[in-house]
């Protein structure tokens, strides 16, 4: 039975389910029970069944889940379906790493434009894209804005640019800058990837080893 409101914790686990199911499929595993999957992932079978039940009934009593089918369902839940367009703003080292290495296609995204302001970078080609000058961004957005924008430039311009993007109809922002973005209303989803928050979490757990204790029965 579908729940009305899906909790954030459930949503954060979905990509993990996807990863484990992909791994199982790559190993040609056909079926998996919540018990086995739970052991693999280090979570309870109950939690898996509870999580999945938010979205539908994907298993079969006495059998478990078909890996291929469940993978497809989780992908669908996560929105990996028909192609969406992405642009990236900032083609410095981080931007280049993402342009060159990140498997957008795997998640049904297509990177269609990249921007920078450095005249050494603008005009160069990278993974089939010619880097454009950020000054042309506003005009480029006029026609048909992309679904998401990836912010990999330095932080100062993050707030201005994200407002520009939101106004142009971009509905998702994947924010790698160290800046928090202004609230752009409920129609624009922002996902932050704050490197420093992550390092500080590591730092905390290294400083307080006790808190990391956990045992499995």
Partner DNA sequence: TAGATTGTTAATCGATTAACAATC
Nearer to DNA, 142 or 212 (CB): 212
For the chain, the 3-state helix, strand and coil shares in percent, each to the nearest 5, are 45, 20, 35
72 contacts which partner out of DNA, its own copies, none, CB within 5 to 8 A by kind? none
Listed ranges 38-46, 101-109, 112-120, 196-204: which one lies at the site for DNA (CB under 7 A): 38-46
Helix H, strand E, coil C: the string for 154-200 is CHHHHHHHHHHHHHHCCCEEEECCCCCCCCCCCCCEEEECCHHHHHH
117 contacts which partner out of DNA, its own copies, none, CB within 5 to 8 A by kind? none
| DSSP 8-state secondary structure symbol assigned to residue 42 | T
CA 101 to chain centroid, in Å, comes to 15
Nearer to DNA, 60 or 160 (CB): 60
The CA distances from residue 161 to 125, 133, 158, in Å, are 23, 13, 5
Contact between 46 and DNA per CB under 7 A: yes
Q: Are 165 and 173 in contact (CB under 8 A)?
A: yes
Taking residues 61 to 100 in sequence order and writing x for each that binds its own copies by CB under 8 A, - otherwise, the string is: ----------------xxxx-----------xxx-xxx-x
Residues 62-121 within binding reach of DNA (CB under 7 A)? 62-65
Report in angstroms how near the CB of residue 68 gets to its own copies at its nearest: 19
Q: Are 168 and 192 in contact (CB under 8 A)?
A: no
Q: Which residue, among 165, 166, 192, has the nearest Cα to 177 in the 3D structure?
A: 192
Chain positions contacting its own copies, by CB under 8 A? 5-6, 11-12, 14-16, 18-19, 77-80, 92-94, 96-98, 100-103, 106-107, 109, 147-148, 154, 171-172, 174, 180, 186-187, 189, 191, 193-209, 211-213
Chain positions contacting DNA, by CB under 7 A? 1, 7-10, 33-35, 43-47, 49-50, 52-53, 57-65
């Amino acid at each position: 039975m579908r729940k009305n409101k899906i909790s954030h914790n459930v949503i954060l686990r979905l990509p993990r389910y996807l990863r484990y199911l992909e791994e199982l499929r790559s190993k040609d595993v056909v079926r998996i029970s919540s018990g086995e999957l739970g052991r693999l992932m280090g979570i309870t079978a109950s939690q898996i069944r509870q999580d999945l039940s938010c979205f539908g009934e994907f298993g079969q009593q006495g059998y478990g889940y078909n890996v291929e089918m469940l993978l497809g369902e989780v992908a669908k839940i996560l929105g990996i379906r028909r192609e969406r367009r992405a642009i990236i703003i900032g083609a410095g080292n981080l931007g280049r790493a993402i342009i060159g290495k990140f498997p957008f296609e795997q998640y049904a995204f297509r990177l269609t434009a990249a921007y920078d302001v450095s005249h050494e970078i603008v005009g160069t080609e990278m993974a089939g894209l010619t880097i454009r000058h950020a000054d042309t961004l506003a005009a480029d957005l006029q026609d048909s804005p992309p679904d998401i924008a990836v912010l990999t430039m330095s932080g100062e311009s993050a707030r201005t640019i994200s407002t520009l993007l939101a106004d142009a109809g971009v509905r998702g922002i994947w924010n790698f800058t160290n800046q928090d973005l202004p609230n752009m209303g409920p129609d624009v989803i922002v996902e932050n990837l704050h490197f420093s928050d992550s390092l500080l979490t590591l730092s905390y757990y290294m400083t307080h080893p006790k808190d990391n204790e956990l045992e499995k029965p």
